[in-house]
Structure 1
């Protein structure tokens, strides 16, 4: 029951007719077999050569017409810029949620855009960070923030709900932090008094340090924030701190840190930028440590690093160090001392002394002499552990940090000329 054309060469050259007798479907060959007809094969080949290009051409033409027909609709729609399958939120829904991005819902204006509050159709409260696309750096900022936020998961780092990106519009959709920024709490409008007590400030410092330690050492990619300051620390409904605004961040893969120079490091905020960036030093995690140290000193003194009182050669760290450790009452925020009773004053001053010391060590001129964020977390844990059993004005909520240790000793400070921190048990 063989069928098809019998070849003429090779093993078939000596083929005997008796060997294929009875296979009526065979043709060709040198044996006396009927000739093979190739007409059907030729017709099929011609059909393929004609039909396939025609079908492909029609498909391309159809796709082109569809793209042209829906181009306007596409330009006004949103596609997620985060490849982690976030919920899709249309441009029209964002317009509806923010009242058409009205001034009434404007939360603030930054270097690369504006932030609006809104409510989605499912009643979720959101903050919409709309990029200013006229700024050539806004596109890069949007890309950096998306790349950073889609890779990090920590309770003290802002989470992202979704993103919206098309030719005319780019925005990040974030959870709304009803208590605003740390900046707002440190410097209330109309000259109001700061309502953060010492316990609050110690807790906030710990939460920021935990988030930064995660970004630097425990995330599967290393993230350098590069713009840590009170305005970029948000406080949620429960007053938990969240590190936000990753528009200037760098993501480090493997050993790629050496390739990062300070070419654009000075794009951070004045007063918080590490001094080595101004003289061509490499971008590193120690730059974030410096910014964190400035934030700590600002949190305790309520003095901005850009305060007009700083004359040439004097800045916030140097001014604080001039009063350390014997005259720290002259630099710390008065409300931290007013609320303390006489019997508690020595304990409060001890806590403040150790707290300020962390800020001073983080703001050393040389990045090699600064601690890393894991050391800072350990140091803050020691301070918190030492003061957990002190009077109510210093008590810390136990549910805030899972890292509190069992130490109860109070450590005295031996700073010297800003040498490495050392402790002695008293």
Structure 2
């Protein structure tokens, strides 16, 4: 940007928007004393905003958005009393907003979204900025509550608070904002019910409601149908909305986007959904919806995207869906749909991104109408009961990149017409009844990166070109008559067609004996293959786990490849029921694979328990299960594994007990060796993360979930050092029939003493039921261990001395004698007293949670509240 501005002293408007400017904003800009409007948006400016901008006393409009500006917002802006338009969004600004900005009463546009600003918003913002029309705090690091005073800025039309860390309830008195058009609060930590919907019915100009990814819980009120007819977008995914979809939703005839994904909605979809004639996108995935897909869906002729996966819909796919002739995405997988695939639906040539009906009960043959999907990129019909030949018409889908027909009953040969699919990257036709030779054209598909032909009846020689040169990209096992191929495929050599003459009777006799022996060996092999195939069929079908989500079930071979054959190099932990491996997905991402040791009593039960619990819940402080595998290995043995998000910083165990040789066998061992020390505030933050997860399990989940094995090795740390609770192998789910909780088997009211020594509450040893207060005991011990660095199982603790009493007698004056020395290292003497108070406060909570009698223990809601108070008081100096 030019710096020679001395000749522009009388300039009133400087508009250089979209001018490809580079460099820094010159400090000389402050010499333009008559400047009223400054527009430098959408350039490539870097550096900080110069302090001299405060000299522009007549400036009323400032637009610097979409640059690379860094540093803090200059406090000199407070001198610009006439400023009414501030646009600083889409930069890299840091620090807090200068408080004086919130006192500039003339501001009607305040846009600072997509930066790295932090701090809280003053509670009086609506009183001091009464002229606000546009408020953008999107994608920053703001905390605190959303001020109720916003309703005093009566002309406010746009509220963008999404992607921050705001907590507390929804803003009060929203109905007073009669001019409100957009309210975007997505990806925060708001906790409330959905009664605010009723408040918004007074906002006659409202168009967009976006509150995804919060902690809102409750029924979707019938008043949703009373919202303004101007509402076009309702997005409320990833909350805890339960009950049914109110029929009144059919009143919103201008609605174009509805997203209720990942909630707990049940019941049927009301047929009045078909009244939403302007709907373009409908997302209802990840709920517990049931019944048939209403035929009224066919009335949504403008529908572009339709997602119903991971529900319990049954019955046939409605023929009327074929009326939705503007569909570009159709996702109905992981339901219980049956019948054949309607030809009208296969004829929707507009579908161009994904067409997925996987993991259902669909039957019949695949109509040649599938060739109408000429613009389709991905077709997934796996895990159904489809039969007949693969139609050659699929060859007309010239842009197809992924084709998955696995786990069906297709027979016949792989059609030569597939050779026209030059852009095909993934092809999976495994677990069918396909026969004949492997077509040579598959080796000529240059884009093909993954090919699975396993568990069919293919025969002949495997090619040695193209994708077949990469053993990790090709699967051909369980085809009895294949031979050749590269060595890594471990196939027998192909026999020559020519035979040598038998020259003598002696040779003839030997050959006869060999033939007889070969016959018996062949029979034995066929019996073994039949047995393994029967076992494979039994074990590789989709397991109907007793929870609402059904995973896509990766194969043993995929996991074998991803972990380099379950190499010891990739072992990152060993636990009670199995070994954890680091693995690399086909996309290059990392996952953790927990391979169950099925020879250990309780391992299979642990597998079902983790699927049952983690498959039905979600929370930022819980380790996410991303997939499961229930199959057989290459030796025909049962194989079960769980796939989790990969936690880059290992377990809390490794961080608080560094360098101890006894830790080698602990689950989730940190793979990078000895980690750094955790400071006091880091430990407190992790303690809050764990408590937040427990609160979710105990208070938000319905029915409640008892973890049953809280300990440091079951708390993992992600790349941001956020605590994630994992290992739900001993989890129990509550039942009204058994007071607070029940054993995962649902067969007995007796609970076997399970868990880890030192963390198990005393009452479990006396045969008591599993209660949420049992988790609180474990949490209390974990909290004491985090701050003292002492295990509850140390030899020091015996007879009547345990970790609880050890800490209790040291409170409050001697806590610095028992605190983990790693916390104190490097702290100045001035900070020691402040630290002592903080440590004592946290240890008191640990003691209160680990009382001997369940009724005496602090509950999780109070513990979490107290920890937040401690963090607020001692978190900053």
Q: TM-score, normalised by structure 2?
A: 0.36
Residue 137 to residue 346, structure 1, CA distance change in 2 (3 Å): same
Point out the structure with the larger helix share: 1
Of the three residues 529, 552, 556, the one matched with 1:91 is 556
**TM-aligned CA deviation for residue 105 of structure 1:** 1.1
C-alpha contact (below 8 Å) 2:734/2:740 kept by paired residues? no
- Residues 313-366 of structure 1 show CA distances to partners (whole Å, capped at 9, x for unaligned) of 101111111211111111101222232212222211111110110001011111
Of the three residues 172, 175, 179, the one matched with 2:649 is 179
**TM-aligned CA deviation for residue 110 of structure 1:** 1.4
**TM-aligned CA deviation for residue 114 of structure 1:** 1.2
Residue 267 to residue 306, structure 1, CA distance change in 2 (3 Å): same
User: Which deviates more from structure 2 when the two are superposed, residues 151-160 or residues 277-286?
Assistant: 277-286
1:251 is aligned to 733
**TM-aligned CA deviation for residue 226 of structure 1:** 0.6
2:793 is aligned to 306
SS in 1 for 2:617: coil
**TM-aligned CA deviation for residue 277 of structure 1:** 1.1
Query: Partners in 2 of 1:194 and 1:176 — Cα distance?
Result: 19
1:317-328 pair list within 5 angstroms: 317-328=804-815
1:400-411 pair list within 5 angstroms: none
Query: Partners in 1 of 2:845 and 2:602 — Cα distance?
Result: 34
Residue 354 to residue 138, structure 1, CA distance change in 2 (3 Å): same
C-alpha contact (below 8 Å) 1:79/1:164 kept by paired residues? no
CA RMSD of aligned residues (A): 2.7
1:376-415 pair list within 5 angstroms: 376-390=863-877
C-alpha contact (below 8 Å) 2:753/2:767 kept by paired residues? no
SS in 1 for 2:602: helix
Is 1:131 aligned with 2:611? no
C-alpha contact (below 8 Å) 1:80/1:162 kept by paired residues? no
Residue 379 to residue 141, structure 1, CA distance change in 2 (3 Å): same
Is 1:188 aligned with 2:684? no
**TM-aligned CA deviation for residue 259 of structure 1:** 6.8
Of the three residues 354, 359, 365, the one matched with 2:841 is 354
Point out the structure with the larger strand share: 2
Query: Partners in 2 of 1:75 and 1:105 — Cα distance?
Result: 30
Of the three residues 562, 566, 585, the one matched with 1:120 is 585
Query: Partners in 2 of 1:75 and 1:118 — Cα distance?
Result: 27
1:408 is aligned to none
C-alpha contact (below 8 Å) 1:224/1:284 kept by paired residues? yes
SS in 2 for 1:151: coil
**TM-aligned CA deviation for residue 311 of structure 1:** 2.9
Runs (5+) with no aligned partner, structure 2:
1-409, 412-431, 434-454, 456-529, 633-637, 662-673, 744-748
Greater relative contact order, per chain length (Cα 8 Å cut-off, separation 6+): 1
User: Which deviates more from structure 2 when the two are superposed, residues 229-238 or residues 114-123?
Assistant: 114-123
**TM-aligned CA deviation for residue 280 of structure 1:** 2.4
**TM-aligned CA deviation for residue 235 of structure 1:** 0.5
1:22-421 pair list within 5 angstroms: 71=534, 74=537, 77=540, 79=542, 84-166=549-631, 168-189=638-659, 195-257=677-739, 260=742, 263-390=750-877
**TM-aligned CA deviation for residue 71 of structure 1:** 3.2
Query: Partners in 2 of 1:300 and 1:98 — Cα distance?
Result: 36
SS in 2 for 1:267: coil
Residue 75 to residue 260, structure 1, CA distance change in 2 (3 Å): closer
SS in 2 for 1:169: strand
- Residues 233-286 of structure 1 show CA distances to partners (whole Å, capped at 9, x for unaligned) of 000111111000000000113453357489444221000000111122221001
C-alpha contact (below 8 Å) 2:732/2:741 kept by paired residues? no
Query: Which structure's CA Rg is the greater one?
Result: 1
**TM-aligned CA deviation for residue 89 of structure 1:** 1.9
C-alpha contact (below 8 Å) 1:149/1:159 kept by paired residues? yes
Query: Partners in 2 of 1:190 and 1:268 — Cα distance?
Result: 22
C-alpha contact (below 8 Å) 2:656/2:786 kept by paired residues? yes
User: Which deviates more from structure 2 when the two are superposed, residues 67-76 or residues 354-363?
Assistant: 67-76
- Residues 77-108 of structure 1 show CA distances to partners (whole Å, capped at 9, x for unaligned) of 57466562434422111000011111111122
Q: How many residue pairs align between the two structures? A: 329
Query: Partners in 1 of 2:675 and 2:562 — Cα distance?
Result: 34
Query: Partners in 2 of 1:143 and 1:340 — Cα distance?
Result: 47
**TM-aligned CA deviation for residue 194 of structure 1:** 5.9
User: Which deviates more from structure 2 when the two are superposed, residues 161-170 or residues 137-146?
Assistant: 161-170
C-alpha contact (below 8 Å) 1:80/1:163 kept by paired residues? no
Query: Partners in 2 of 1:143 and 1:333 — Cα distance?
Result: 38
User: Which deviates more from structure 2 when the two are superposed, residues 162-171 or residues 220-229?
Assistant: 162-171
- Residues 144-179 of structure 1 show CA distances to partners (whole Å, capped at 9, x for unaligned) of 110000111100011111101136111101111111
C-alpha contact (below 8 Å) 2:734/2:742 kept by paired residues? no
